[in-house]
Every structure is written in C-alpha cells, then in structure tokens.
Amino acid sequence: EDKVVQSPLSLVVHEGDTVTLNCSYEVTNFRSLLWYKQEKKAPTFLFMLTSSGIEKKSGRLSSILDKKELFSILNITATQTGDSAVYLCAGLPYAGNNRKLIWGLGTSLAVNP
Amino acid sequence: DGGITQSPKYLFRKEGQNVTLSCEQNLNHDAMYWYRQDPGQGLRLIYYSQIVNDFQKGDIAEGYSVSREKKESFPLTVTSAQKNPTAFYLCASSTPLAGGSPHEQFFGPGTRLTVL
C-alpha cells in the first residue's frame, strides 16, 4: 500500500533556529513529491520536486528529493513566528489521468519568540 | 482574482439531515477534489473529478455524494448515512496531468461542519 510518513510529528523551536522536516515515501510509479504549508485554513503550495538531487529554494525555505532513498527534506533557516504551521508532504504517482495525492500526516511546527 | 471559494465557512446541522457544501473555482481547472481533514489523520480524499460530468470515489466516499455539472463547480453533499460527519472539509482543484508537467493542487479555505 502506498504511504507517506513525515517526521517528527511535532516540533517546537525558538526564533532564529534552523529546522529540518522529513518526508519518506513509498508510492507506486512515483512521479513527484509536493510540500504544503497549512496555517489555520487551506494548505498553500510550497514546492514540487520531481528530480533527485536538485534543491528548490524560496527565501528561507528549501527542499530536496532523494529518489534512491525515497525521501525528501524541507529546511527552514532563521525561523520566524510566522513559520508556525503544519507542513504537509504528499506523493504524486503516475497513473494515467489519476491525480490522487498520497498525503502524510504533517509536521506541526511551533516557533516561539 | 482567480481562486477557489467554499461556502459556508462554518456549518451546523442536526443529525439525520443532509447538507451540501459549495465549491467554486475560476482557475479554469479541469480537476477538482474533496478532502476531509480530522485531527491527527491528515487529508483523506472523498471524491474527485477529472472532467465535467465525471467523478470517482476516493478513499472515504461512503455517506457522501457529488455532482460535476459545470467545470467551475463541484458541490459535496454529506448525507445522513455518513456516521461521523463532523470535520473540516477542503476542496481543491488542479490542471490535468495528461500531456504535461504535473501541477499542484490549489485549495479553498475550507468548511468546518459540526453535527449537533
């Protein structure tokens, strides 16, 4: 059965710390891995990773995919209280027109001032 | 502005009543999805639709129904057959996968349903 596992489930840090969130996956006919940030309402898209070893970066956030070891990490440097959220990752398989994402349970990040 | 709207934001219903959650998008996306989110359970797919007049069951379709009569709209009905309907419901849309690069799903703001 396909699955995506995120770790840790929750994390508390102080402003300015650097954090690394992990996402491992077992997805049949894997195509891409996606990261989302969910604050109170709708998840907002962060990154989509399709190729192994190519870092994607947006400001203080970056992410990379390892297709050999079947995992991805999301790094946040110099954390701010506004980074507090649940971070979700999801695997996207090839399946014709099927766009079913396989979701992890999320990592809840709390950044304290 | 382009986006996805869901209404209402909060919804209360009595046990035994059916209720319909609205989802509208003006992103010209072909594919639309309904998810349910419960604490500690992540996002679970209820139904999805790749094209107008077609939809498929997701992982937890029992007790729910949908329709896709227009490209912009994908309403979800929570029926009285759904045993634990209290949850946060999220609608999403995306461009089709076939023939192109994969595209992310965009989410609406969600509807929080409480059954009294």
Q: What is the pLDDT of residues B28-45, one digit of tens each?
A: 888 999 999 998 778 999
Contact B76, B55 (CB under 8 A): no
Q: Looking at the partner chain, which of B50, B104, B110 has a beta carbon nearest the beta carbon of A97? A: B50
Which residues make beta-bridge pairs with A6?
A23
| Predicted local confidence at residue A6, as pLDDT | 97
| Predicted local confidence at residue A93, as pLDDT | 86
Average pLDDT over residues A46-72: 94
User: CB burial class (10 A; 0-12, 13-18, 19+) of residue B21?
Assistant: buried
At residue B100, does pLDDT exceed 80?
no
**Hey, how many other C-beta atoms are within 10 angstroms of the C-beta on A50?**
16
* Cβ density class B86-104: b for 16+ within 10 Å, e for less: ebebbbbbbbebeeeeebb
Q: How confident is the model at residue B98 (pLDDT cuts 50, 70, 90)?
A: low
Chain A residues touching B108 at Cβ < 8 A: 42
Size of interface A-B (CB pairs under 8 A): 55
* Best mean pLDDT range from A50-59, A78-87, B8-17: A78-87
Chain B interface residues (partner A, CB cutoff 8 A): 31, 33, 40-45, 48, 50, 58, 90, 94, 96-98, 102, 104-110
Please tell me the distance from the alpha carbon of residue B64 to that of residue B44, in angstroms, as a whole number.
Answer: 13
At residue B105, does pLDDT exceed 80?
yes
* CA-based nearest residue to B31, from B100, B101, B90, B106: B106
